[in-house]
């Protein structure tokens, strides 16, 4: 592990005598929290641009100074301290990033809330978690007004009302000091926009995160890029992990409070963005908008949802070998990566595990051999720290082939049992998506009196194309097994997606 640490420090220019001094003195000053990353970055990159959003542009020196001041103001005005809980209900913007660093510096726990959640879910969360402070966007003010939350709260941005951006103009005592702290944790609340949320706790640790960080450096060649655009939500584990990685590397990071394909293409063109984090739906929309604006991209890091083979082929054809497929979960973090070369091996693969990850595939409580389908169980040092077992059940079904490549077959609750036969809807989806007239597809299981369950397909045809059930079944029949043929096919104008870019099968029926 020490060798790995030295290798990473060397790659990010911290192994020189001066670099080591910055590293060690930052730990002494800050403690082990995410402000440590920013403190080192500020000393290393100084006036280089760190963060850009729709409102402002900050250098590493400016970002660090503002985060330090904000931590003092939050301590003085809101008494935020070790053990407190601070929640964020925010889109991607500078105020969110500043507040996360400042709160971590104070040793308080950071709760990242899905800004797309319902009001009833928000009410449930504030009653369960007893937050000491809540930072929220003005557009979500109705959530606060209609909730039982009664403790301290503050807007992220506002011209006149109390807000994070206005706190930065507060005068703080010159002799105020903050003791170093290593107690802050990052808590993600999973389950998307429906259902009861589950806490997933991650403790910042230099040694624990060496392997995923080193893998991102090597497989995605992150050291060679200058500008990154985080299009995915920071409140999601994927978004915040990439943010911290880019800050540690001294990159210029572009963020925006909402994704819009036209605006995203403009940002990529104006900032000459080289690497972008996306969910597959974002890639699809940007390709439809302007391929020319995407020509500067040399790394498209896709995660958070399945990557369909047709999209893989389209990206390769229009932009070259730039697409990477990242597989991880909120609980287990990043675990598997498919490089462009891996996607040439198979457009369906999610790649190979990264160093430090153990994966076993389990069916009926027994580990299965290569080629057999089961649930992914994952163990690593950077997974959530509030679990009862070191092995995390992901809920994802899949298999590993004889060459060590992993493939997804859907979620455990997606599997359909028809007349005693296990059917994985993703297998049928991956066949249907290759039909030349199909834009998007989702397959679900439905109840059936005779077989227990059968398949139902929802088809989004390509623009200006017409499809008919009988013709589509005839096309599909020689390509799948008889038991995989959908009993029903429904044509839709647009499939429903969640805020995180996954097809929302709960809304299909």
Q: Is the pLDDT of residue 242 over 90?
A: no
Q: Which tens digits make up the pLDDT trace of 201-219? A: 776 655 556 677 778 888 8
More confident residue, 449 or 58: 58
Collapsing DSSP to helix, strand or coil, 476 comes out as helix
Query: How large is the average pLDDT for residues 273-284?
Result: 95
Q: What is the pLDDT of residues 287-329, one digit of tens each?
A: 999 999 999 999 999 998 889 899 999 999 999 999 999 999 8
Alpha carbon distance 398, 310 (integer Å): 20
pLDDT score at 122: 92
What does the pLDDT average to over 438-448?
94
Find tokens 């299981």 and name the residue: 445
At 193, the pLDDT band (50, 70, 90 cuts) reads very low
> Quick one: pLDDT at residue 2?
44
Non-local CB neighbours of 175 within 8 Å, separated by 6+ positions: none
Q: Band of the pLDDT at 86, cuts 50, 70, 90?
A: very high
Domains of the chain plus CATH, in order, are 1-28 (no CATH), 31-202 (3.40.50.980), 210-411 (3.40.50.12780), 416-507 (3.30.300.30)
| CA distances to 43, 44, 58, 145, 249 from 47, in Å | 10, 9, 9, 41, 14
> pLDDT tens digits, residue range 118-132?
899 899 999 999 999
The answer to whether residue 419 scores a pLDDT higher than 70 is yes
pLDDT surpasses 70 at 270: yes
The pLDDT, as a whole number, for residue 7 is: 54
Confidence of residue 443 (pLDDT cuts 50, 70, 90): very high
Rounded (10°) CA dihedral 80, 86, 91, 96: 30
Contact status, residue 342 vs residue 407, Cβ threshold 8 Å: no
Check residues 177 and 209 and name the one with the higher pLDDT: 177
Average of per-residue pLDDT values in the chain: 88
H/E run at residue 399? strand 392-400
pLDDT band at 109 (very low <50, low <70, confident <90, very high): very high
Q: Is the pLDDT confidence value at 95 over 80?
A: yes
The average pLDDT across 223-248 equals 88
pLDDT category, 196, cuts 50, 70, 90? low
199 confidence band (pLDDT: 50, 70, 90) = confident
Average the pLDDT over 337-355 and give the result: 96
Looking at per-residue pLDDT, the higher value among 89 and 3 belongs to 89
Closest CA to 200 of 359, 329, 91, 326: 329
How confident is the model at residue 5, as a pLDDT? 47
Write phi, then psi, for 388 (nearest 5 degrees).
Answer: -85, -20
Structure tokens at 218: 């090597």
Q: Per-residue pLDDT for 194 more than 70?
A: no
Predicted pLDDT of residue 279 = 92
How would you label 46-81 residue by residue, b for 16+ Cβ within 10 Å and e otherwise?
A: eeebbbbbeeeebbbbbbbebbbbbbbbbbeebebb
- Residue 363 scores a pLDDT above 70: yes
Given a cut of 70, whether residue 344 has pLDDT beyond it is: yes
pLDDT tens sequence across 25-78: 655 566 666 888 888 889 889 999 999 999 999 999 999 999 999 999 999 999
Longest dimension (CA), the chain: 78
Q: What is the CA radius of gyration of the chain?
A: 24
Residue 1 confidence (pLDDT): 47
Phi/psi region, residue 464 (left: phi>0; alpha: psi -120 to 50; beta: rest), is left
Residue 330 CA to residue 396 CA, distance in Å, equals 13
Region of residue 404 (phi > 0: left; psi between -120 and 50: alpha; otherwise: beta): left
């Amino acid at each position: 592990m020490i060798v790995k640490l030295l290798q990473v420090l060397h790659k990010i220019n911290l192994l020189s005598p001066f670099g080591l001094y910055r590293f060690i003195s930052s730990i002494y000053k800050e403690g082990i929290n995410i402000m440590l990353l920013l403190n080192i970055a500020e000393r290393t990159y100084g006036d280089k641009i760190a963060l850009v959003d729709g409102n402002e542009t900050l250098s590493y020196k400016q970002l660090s100074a503002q985060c330090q001041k904000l931590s003092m103001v939050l301590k003085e005005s809101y008494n935020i301290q070790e053990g407190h809980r601070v929640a964020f209900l925010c889109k991607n913007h500078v105020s969110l990033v500043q507040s996360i660093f400042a709160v971590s510096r104070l040793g308080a726990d950071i709760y990242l809330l899905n800004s797309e959640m319902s009001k009833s879910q928000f009410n449930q969360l504030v009653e369960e978690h007893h937050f000491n402070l809540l930072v929220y966007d003005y557009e979500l003010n109705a959530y606060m007004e209609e909730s039982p939350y009664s403790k301290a709260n503050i807007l992220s941005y506002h011209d006149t009302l109390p807000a994070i951006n206005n706190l930065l103009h507060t005068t703080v005592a010159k002799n105020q000091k903050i003791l170093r702290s290593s107690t802050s944790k990052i808590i993600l609340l999973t389950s998307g926009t429906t259902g009861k949320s589950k806490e997933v706790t991650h403790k910042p640790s230099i040694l624990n995160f060496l392997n995923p960080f080193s893998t991102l450096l090597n497989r995605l060649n992150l050291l060679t890029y200058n500008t990154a655009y985080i299009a995915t939500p920071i409140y999601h584990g994927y978004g915040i992990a990439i943010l911290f990685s880019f800050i540690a590397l001294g990159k210029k990071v572009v963020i925006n409070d909402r994704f819009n394909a036209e605006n995203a293409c403009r940002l990529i063109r104006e900032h000459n963005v080289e690497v972008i984090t996306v969910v597959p739906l974002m890639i699809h929309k940007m390709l439809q908008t302007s391929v020319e604006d995407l020509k500067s991209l040399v790394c498209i890091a896709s995660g958070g949802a399945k990557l369909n083979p047709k999209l893989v082929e389209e990206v390769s054809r229009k932009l070259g070998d730039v697409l990477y497929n990242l597989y991880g979960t909120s609980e287990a973090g990043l675990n598997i990566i498919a490089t462009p070369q891996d996607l040439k091996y198979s457009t369906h693969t999610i790649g190979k595990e990264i160093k430090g990850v153990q994966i076993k595939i389990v069916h009926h409580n027994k580990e299965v051999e290569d080629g057999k389908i089961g649930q992914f169980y994952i163990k690593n040092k950077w997974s959530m720290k509030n679990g009862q077992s070191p092995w995390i059940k992901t809920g994802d079904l899949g298999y590993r082939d004889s060459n060590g490549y992993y493939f997804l077959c859907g979620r455990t609750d997606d599997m359909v049992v028809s007349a005693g036969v296990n059917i994985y809807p993703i297998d049928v989806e991956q066949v249907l998506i290759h039909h030349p007239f199909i834009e998007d597809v989702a397959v679900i299981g439905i109840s059936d009196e005779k077989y227990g369950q059968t398949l139902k397909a929802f088809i989004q045809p390509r623009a200006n194309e017409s499809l008919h059930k009988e013709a589509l079944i005839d096309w599909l029949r020689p390509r799948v097994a008889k038991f995989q043929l959908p009993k029903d096919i429904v044509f839709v104008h647009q499939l429903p997606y969640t805020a995180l870019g996954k097809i929302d099968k709960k809304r299909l029926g």
